[in-house]
Amino acid sequence: SHLAAATLSLELACIMTVGPPCKQAKMATQKTLELRKLRLMTAIKTPYTADGNVDLPAFDRIVEHQIANGVEALIVGGTTGEGHLLSWEEHLFLIAHTKAMFGSKIAIVGNTGGMCTAEAAVATRKGFAAGMDCSLLINPYYGKTSAKGIVMHLESGLKYGPGIIYNVPGRTGQDIKPEIIMEIKDHEHFVGVKECMGHERIKLLSDQGVACWSGNDEQSHLSRHVHGAVGVISVTSNIVPGLMYKLMHGSRDDELDSKLQPLYKWLFTEPNPIGVNTLLMQLGMAEPVFRLPYTFASKEMREESVQLLKSIGLQHCPAGPNGLQVLADSDFKHVLNGDDA
């Protein structure tokens, strides 16, 4: 809305000047320490109604299935949840809604980071005011900065409460190198890192006392059991949360991990979140509505997904009244947002 935009603009203008980063180590807060213990977090999908607005009843059904299958935290409005396609009004409302509905059962991690330091700081402060337990903070993408600039950018969000740093060079175009993480790891609100650089990086950071969650589902089992990761921030757990729970909380299970590898590959054949969106729509957990620029996976892929899930076991998946369907191309709808209906 114009009012929300004007309010945000005013707050951006009034935000405190970011000073030099404080290097004095402080003991991690109790909340920070608690968050470091969580093994399975889901980057939760944001479903839409036919008119393009956020579909809260569908969202709640997806979250209820997550909780019933042991998921310990949700990333709200992450890349998978299309935070970049939500207005800040929608984004903060969804954080508040999730906390109000489910905050006693699951931790709420709001993706309030961004490219613009001032905007990310305002969003992070408002996210905590809305009730989130933790922020997800990313380094500036596109408008890349220096190592010192990355530190200052991240600390501007960490000052408001617990934060997980998200390192995904494939999306940002810039690696948050270990020496940068070492600069901020003693901040009282530093929870850890969602790390997409693979086993070697996770082991390096874990060996230095940094809590890491794999950002690569296909590697997450070995990252957890061999390379020191605490757990995973997962896309696949939207589809099979109970099985991802077993991989993270149970003993090493290479057989189950191998069984899920084709699903991991399918979900990421097209850029995320195209795969997970399409599959949740096929399962009847979300209306077949895409906000552009995302669109549906091909019919060939959809037919393949039906066989994949049947081989894994449909009892592990959430499903609407009609169960798993291929759907026709004509069943899908594309919108810009909820204002263009």
Return the number of other C-beta atoms located less than 10 Å from residue 338's C-beta: 16
Strand partners, 290: 334
Which of 98-106's residues contact partners 24+ apart within 8 Å by CB, and which partners?
A: 98/59, 98/63, 98/74, 99/130, 99/131, 99/132, 99/133, 100/131, 101/60, 101/63, 102/63, 102/67, 102/74, 103/131, 103/133, 105/67, 106/63, 106/66, 106/67, 106/71, 106/72, 106/73, 106/74
Phi then psi for residue 16, to 5 deg, are -65, 145
Instruction: Copy the structure tokens of residue 331.
Output: 């069943």
Tokens 């945000």: give the residue: 8
Tokens 């003693």: give the residue: 186
CB-CB contact of 236 with 244 (8 Å):
yes
Calculate ∠ Cα 99-102-104, nearest 5°: 90
Distance between CA atoms of residues 210 and 195, nearest Å: 11
Q: What is each CA distance from 143 to 116, 139, 146, 292, in whole angstroms? A: 9, 10, 10, 23
Catalytic residues: 166, 194
Instruction: Copy the structure tokens of residue 142.
Output: 């596109």
Distance between CA atoms of residues 289 and 277, nearest Å: 9
Cβ neighbours of residue 235 closer than 8 Å, sequence gap 6 or more: 42, 43, 80, 217, 267, 268, 272, 273, 276
Instruction: Copy the structure tokens of residue 68.
Output: 């019933």
